Chain A
Amino acid sequence: MNAHVTQDPATPTRNLLARIGTGHLVLAALLLAYPLVSSDFFLTQIGGYSLIFGMLALSLSLLAGYGGMVSLAQISFAGVAGYTVAIFGENNSNILGFGWPWWLVMPLALFFAATSSALIGWVSVRTEGIYTIMITLAVATAAFYFVRQNYTLFNGFPGYTGLRAPIVFGVNFRDPVPFYYMCLVAATLSYAAVLYAARSTFGLTLQAIRDNPRRMRAIGFDVTAHKVVAWFYAGLIAGLAGVLLVWFNGRISPGTINVAAAINVLIIAVIGGLKHPIGPFVGAVMVVLMQTFAIDIVGAERFNTLIGVFFLAIVFFSPDGILGLWGQLRQRLAQEDLRSRQ
């Protein structure tokens, strides 16, 4: 998949299509044509849902892959955006719900998500490795319990219902096909932004900081500021996913942002692979398919075991997730290719 990245980066004069890469074009064509062959269920419940969780995992993989900071709180930032939509937009829980239009609520939701992410980032960049995981896990847990027990602002356990995607220029984004394309556009934007940012000056600096923060500090870079900005961007992506998630569910409750969901995002990122921004989306498709259909394979009693074993197997055979498996397969094919030429 990432062949185009490594081929020859020193030719900025190549035309746009070549810069996008053939792999991306094929993928884009497939994803654009997907509604033609799929049922409504596969369009939203598998397609849309995978794209949304892919974005959440992407925001984690942005931090983890390029910044070396594993965050378990991405789902909480999505929750910030989601609850913003519920509180400032329309809901039918008869609590708050200021009824602001979507074009006002959505930027506000993204802003809150990104700001809270930057804030948590600012606190946690003082730590490294396992301690970052611990701090963000604590944030995710605290956020879950807080919204579950706060009734004046978050309506506690039941949360908010009746959160509908808007109707814009006569297009009803609650319908499966428009909703899918909306998710696809959002996911593509996030994906492209991460790809671009990774090769920008900021991205390269961030990766250098990941590899050796002390040296970067000595050269004169503001390590903390770079990391916090990375958190801000990750929060934007998580917030966008959060808005889509509440429109997808039509509701938000503490169950949406509980610790299991936070772990789910991590699993998706790890299963997919952190080396390339396509990884989270591959992981999301796998995880969503597994979680939806495992119950049909082994019955109701043990389906979570099957999911767990499957994930263990992937991580066991390929520490780099499915992307890593793909890499291994490619190597093997190349070797066979050589052999057959002899």
Chain B
Amino acid sequence: MRIHRRTLLALALATGLTAPAMAVAQAEDIKIGVLATFEGAFTVLGEDGERGALTALDEVGGMAAGNKIVVVRGSSDASPDSAIRAARKLVEQDGVKILVGPLSGDEGIAVKDYAKTQPGVTFINGSSAAQDTTLRDPAENFFRFSTDGAQWMAGLGTYAYNEKGYKNVAVVAEDYSFPYTQVFGFMAEFCKAGGKVPSKSWVPIGNKDYSSVIAAIPDDVDAVYVALGGADAVNFLTQFQQSGGEAPLIGGSITVDQTVLTSKGRLRDVLIGTPAAGPTADTNDTPEWNAFVEAYKKQEGAFPSPSLFAHAYYIGMKAALLALEETGGKLDDDGANFRKVLSSLSFETPTGKVSLDKNRNAIADIYLTEVTEGPDGNLLNKLIKVVPQVNQTLGIDEAEFLALGAVSRENPSCP
């Protein structure tokens, strides 16, 4: 009896601990990891990111250079720790040589740091848009085809000051690197044009109660710049509207994204007319964009129009597929040739031409938009203006731009 019991224990332990390690992958298929937020406050955003990546894959029938592409998913909750854990699982356990992701700002910085320890793996950014992912201390094998949060703001500060006539603007944004980057991009232009930002409120991700934040917004501001995402944006906007907030809004790129515009409730009253800027515009009517929207809509659970997360993951996945096609699907030299092709890749996307700078950060068109009501009653980002080929230093000389300092809660400042 005793031996029987012990054998059982030994067996259970041995199989439990080692069996999954023996499940080795098949050789021919190319595995691409997709890392997005499938849990936490940004779940809706992550799911749309995945749709974008799958749209790019469906365009080529799931094949690149005759090799079948297998997508392996990894989930994070927008915290850097969870992103690293998911990335390590994809790279070290599933053995992906190409990883598309992550979604959120600080995740991107963490994954960039991790990329340095895995020189044989190619990391292509999803939609994370913190500036320092590529600007300072970049990783050789981390590529961003989706531009950063400061680039996304191109044209907005000037538009708000000159066209809208806002002189004093309060800022409400989430307290991490991506909104810092967005606020930096907005204020760079807005302050230069002569605008003032008397108050900045940084709120934690996943905050539910915004009453104190709303109360702290000065009465005499002309508008409120809001850079919140997903559930946070919906919560803030609802409470802002309920508390009788009357100041017009200026939107960060993900604040008036489809993930927010499609939410139910009386948000529409506060949102209509809100100017914003970002890498996409819903009413863009170029044939390339329309074709992309049609392809995107075939994905399960798709929004009326792709969010910028779908767009960013699409671009990242597309770049990977194009480069794979060009290298014949070969990654056997630890992907060195693949990365060489990626670095010099320049291609037409649904939103215009994309190419990379020396830090492997994208140079691309940015769209200035305004929220309007669409023909069937849904809210859309109407295209106002295209700002062509914005680079990471926003057209400023690189040395001068770096001298502005790293984005943070205090930088920039023009009270």
Residues of A within 8 A of B (CB): 1, 22-23, 26-27, 30, 34, 37-42, 45-47, 145, 148-149, 151, 156-159, 161-162, 249-251, 253-256, 258, 260, 285, 289, 292-293, 295-296, 299-301, 303-304, 330, 333-334, 337
Which of B59-67, B72-80, B163-171, B228-236 sits within the interface?
B72-80
Is the Cβ of B204 less than 8 Å from the Cβ of A301?
Answer: no
Q: Which residue of A lies closest to B300 (CB)?
A: A301
B38 at the interface (CB under 8 A from A): yes
Q: CA A162 – CA B80 in complex, angstroms? A: 13
Q: Which residue of A lies closest to B117 (CB)?
A: A250
| B77 vs chain A, min Cβ distance (A) | 7
Is the Cβ of A289 less than 8 Å from the Cβ of B79?
Answer: no
Q: CA A237 – CA B106 in complex, angstroms? A: 30
B29 at the interface (CB under 8 A from A): no
Is the Cβ of B75 less than 8 Å from the Cβ of A300?
Answer: yes
Whether A42 touches B13, Cβ cut-off 8 Å, given contacts A158-B176, A301-B38, is no
Is the Cβ of A292 less than 8 Å from the Cβ of B1?
Answer: no
Q: Give the residues in chain A near B75, CB-CB below 8 Å.
A: 295, 300, 303
Is the Cβ of A285 less than 8 Å from the Cβ of B16?
Answer: yes
B353 at the interface (CB under 8 A from A): no
The 9 listed contacts between A and B (C-beta, < 8 Å) are A23-B6, A23-B9, A40-B92, A42-B17, A47-B17, A148-B204, A158-B80, A158-B109, A300-B50
Is the Cβ of A157 less than 8 Å from the Cβ of B175?
Answer: yes
Q: Among the listed A158, A295, A296, A301, which residue makes an inter-chain contact with B106, where contact means beta carbons less than 8 Å apart?
A: A158
Q: Among the listed B14, B38, B88, which residue makes an inter-chain contact with A30, where contact means beta carbons less than 8 Å apart?
A: B14
| A92 vs chain B, min Cβ distance (A) | 9
Q: Among the listed A30, A40, A41, A330, which residue makes an inter-chain contact with B5, where contact means beta carbons less than 8 Å apart?
A: A330
Q: Among the listed A1, A251, A293, A304, which residue makes an inter-chain contact with B39, where contact means beta carbons less than 8 Å apart?
A: A304
Q: Is the contact region of chain B dominated by helix, strand, or loop, or is it mixed? A: helix
Nearest first, the 4 closest Cβ-Cβ pairs linking A and B are: A255-B79, A41-B92, A41-B93, A300-B38
B396 at the interface (CB under 8 A from A): no
Q: Which residue of B lies closest to A286 (CB)?
A: B16
Q: Among the listed B39, B80, B89, B204, which residue makes an inter-chain contact with A253, where contact means beta carbons less than 8 Å apart?
A: B80
| B49 vs chain A, min Cβ distance (A) | 10
Q: Which B residues from 73 to 113 make CB contacts under 8 A with A? A: 73-75, 77, 79-82, 84-85, 88-89, 92-93, 106, 109-110, 113
| B301 vs chain A, min Cβ distance (A) | 9
B264 at the interface (CB under 8 A from A): no
Q: CA A292 – CA B1 in complex, angstroms? A: 35
Q: Which residue of B lies closest to A292 (CB)?
A: B89
Q: CA A303 – CA B72 in complex, angstroms? A: 14
Is the Cβ of B176 less than 8 Å from the Cβ of A45?
Answer: no
Q: CA A260 – CA B16 in complex, angstroms? A: 26
Q: CA A295 – CA B84 in complex, angstroms? A: 16
Q: Give the residues in chain B near A337, CB-CB below 8 Å.
A: 1
Q: Which residue of B lies closest to A49 (CB)?
A: B85
Is the Cβ of A45 less than 8 Å from the Cβ of B5?
Answer: no
Whether A30 touches B6, Cβ cut-off 8 Å, given contacts A45-B85, A157-B204, is no
Q: Give the residues in chain A near B109, CB-CB below 8 Å.
A: 158
| B20 vs chain A, min Cβ distance (A) | 7
Is the Cβ of B21 less than 8 Å from the Cβ of A39?
Answer: yes
Q: Give the residues in chain A near B14, CB-CB below 8 Å.
A: 30
B177 at the interface (CB under 8 A from A): yes
| B117 vs chain A, min Cβ distance (A) | 9
Q: Give the residues in chain A near B135, CB-CB below 8 Å.
A: none
| B38 vs chain A, min Cβ distance (A) | 4
Is the Cβ of A42 less than 8 Å from the Cβ of B20?
Answer: yes
Is the Cβ of A39 less than 8 Å from the Cβ of B81?
Answer: no
| A142 vs chain B, min Cβ distance (A) | 13
B27 at the interface (CB under 8 A from A): no
| B313 vs chain A, min Cβ distance (A) | 13
| A63 vs chain B, min Cβ distance (A) | 25
B358 at the interface (CB under 8 A from A): no
Is the Cβ of B204 less than 8 Å from the Cβ of A158?
Answer: no
Further contacts, 19 of them, CB under 8 A, given A45-B92, A303-B38: A22-B6, A23-B9, A41-B88, A41-B92, A42-B18, A42-B93, A45-B88, A45-B93, A46-B17, A47-B17, A157-B106, A157-B175, A157-B176, A249-B81, A250-B113, A253-B106, A256-B81, A292-B93, A300-B50
Please indicate which of the listed interface residues B4, B17, B38, B88 has the most CB atoms of chain A within 10 Å of its own CB: B17
Q: Give the residues in chain B near A303, CB-CB below 8 Å.
A: 38, 75
Q: Among the listed A34, A251, A333, which residue makes an inter-chain contact with B1, where contact means beta carbons less than 8 Å apart?
A: A333
Whether A295 touches B73, Cβ cut-off 8 Å, given contacts A156-B175, A253-B80, A303-B38, is yes
